[in-house]
Amino acid sequence: MPARERRRFAILPWLGIRPSTSEIVKRELESAFADSAGSTDSQPKGLTVLDAGCGRVSQLKPFRPRIARFVGADIHPPAPGALPHLDEFATVDLCAESDAFPPATFDVILSSFTVEHFADPEAAFRNLRGWLRPGGRLVITTVNRRHPFVWAYLAMPSPLRGRLQRLVKATAADAHPLVGACNSPSDLERGLAAAGFGDLRVTTVGHLARAWSRSWPTYLVGLLGDLLVQGLPSRRSTIVVSAG
Ligand SMILES: C[S@@+](CC[C@H](N)C(=O)[O-])C[C@H]1O[C@@H](n2cnc3c(N)ncnc32)[C@H](O)[C@@H]1O
């Protein structure tokens, strides 16, 4: 992370915008790895893990020493050599291809900032449930349409949305169209339960200042967005769910 962004982030815990999304995901993955390692025969060799909608960066990378088989799946194939941390990559539409992996393949699945892009999130949740072995764990991060800025963004005409998205994203390749079909804490809980997930842990966190930290103006708008709803957990910009 560039030093100027680190400086921008340093003030956030002082303003109560903590823990960060990455810290929550790290904690949930730690717990998922610990649970899975304790309940699978594959423990001595490491776990079988899927990054579903892997893009180019993965919070599973630090867990590599504990992973025997690290699979990435995305609707867009990566540039050659772009994902050296993976053992395998599969081009998969997570909403549509239920046979992409055999049932009960994975011990842990991470799907990070993907659900907001899904055309059919409930189908995706059913697929993820099917690919997860019983006792395995899914960790999801996604945006919350109950945040006023996210709500306003989703209400805009799509050409305007596209222009705004490019303003806050590092590259055009990071600007995926937002659908937001299942993007509130309660919709996620309902959708995941309908797909057969249980033992849900739902956390919300202000993430806009971090996500938009590329320039001072976007960072300050993000910070304002985070502070506006800091006292209203169900409206914070980002949702992290861990489900079994
Ligand atoms: C915002 S990026 C997040 C990438 C990465 N997980 C991360 O945390 O940085 C969203 C990713 O989801 C992928 N994606 C969107 N819809 C998908 C679908 N239906 N099936 C598989 N991947 C999808 C996109 O191609 C993109 O790589």
**Which atom of ligand 1 is the closest one to the Cα of 51?**
6
Residue-wise pLDDT for 195-238, tens only, equals 999 999 999 999 999 999 988 999 999 999 999 999 999 999 99
Least confident of 27-41, 142-156, 215-229: 27-41
- Give the CB-side neighbour count of residue 129, counting CA atoms within 13 A: 16
Task: Read off the pLDDT band of 164 (50, 70, 90).
Answer: confident
Angstrom distance (rounded) from CA 18 to CA 219: 16
φ, ψ of residue 9 to 5 degrees: the values are -75, -25
3-state class (DSSP) for residue 107 = strand
What is residue 153's predicted lDDT score, i.e. its pLDDT? 93
Q: How far does residue 53's CA lie from ligand 1's centre (Å)? A: 4
Q: How far does residue 113's CA lie from ligand 1's centre (Å)? A: 7
- Say what percent of the chain tops pLDDT 70: 95
What is residue 202's predicted lDDT score, i.e. its pLDDT? 98
Probe target for ligand 1 pocket from 165, 176, 179, with the most ligand atoms within 8 Å of CB: 176
Ligand 1 within 6 A of 94 CB? yes
Ligand 1 within 6 A of 54 CB? yes
Averaged pLDDT for residues 87-104: 98
pTM of the model: 0.94
Ligand 1 within 6 A of 117 CB? yes
pLDDT of residue 43 exceeding 70: no
Angle between helices 158-168 and 148-155 (to 10 degrees): 130
Sign of CA dihedral 108, 188, 58, 230: negative
pLDDT of residue 158 exceeding 60: yes
Angstrom distance (rounded) from CA 200 to CA 131: 18
Ligand 1 within 6 A of 189 CB? no
pLDDT of residue 2 exceeding 80: no
Averaged pLDDT for residues 180-190: 97
How many C-beta neighbours within 10 Å does residue 134 have? 8
Mean pLDDT computed over every residue of the chain: 93
Ligand 1 within 6 A of 112 CB? yes
pLDDT of residue 174 exceeding 80: no
Residue-wise pLDDT for 52-64, tens only, equals 999 999 999 999 9
3-state class (DSSP) for residue 82 = coil
What is residue 163's predicted lDDT score, i.e. its pLDDT? 84
Probe target for ligand 1 pocket from 74, 95, 131, with the most ligand atoms within 8 Å of CB: 74
- What helix, strand, coil percent values describe the chain, rounded to 5? 45, 20, 40
Which residue, judged by its Cα, is nearest atom 11 of ligand 1? 53
Ligand 1 within 6 A of 83 CB? no
Angstrom distance (rounded) from CA 126 to CA 106: 14
User: Does residue 121 contact residue 95 with C-beta atoms inside 8 Å?
Assistant: yes
